[in-house]
Amino acid sequence: MDHVDLTANVVQTAIAKGPSSAQTTAALAALDQNTHTARTAAAKKDLAGYISQFSAFVCTTRRPAARSEPARLWPGRRGLAPAGKGAGKPRQG
């Protein structure tokens, strides 16, 4: 049963049996389940599309070339030596 039919069923049941009847409650539960299922299916489909698009994007981008030496925190200085005395020399100890 599609969502429109389930909605019509809720309205008809509420009119015929009363808004707080067990039949109306069951019809509302069926409508809620259908709505939840439809939203879950749509979300899963969207997620699959996003994953596919992201994968395609990653495959088409170029990775940077590997560096032959480690990155430096301060260009022109070696290691983590502070500026001033010992700058340009690796820390010892």
pLDDT value at position 86? 53
CA-based torsion, 64, 68, 70, 71: positive or negative: negative
Residue 81 burial by Cβ neighbours in a 10 Å radius (0-12, 13-18, 19+): middle
Predicted model pTM:
0.52
Q: 93: pLDDT confidence band, cut at 50, 70 and 90?
A: low
Per-residue model confidence as pLDDT tens digits over 58-73: 888 766 666 666 665 6
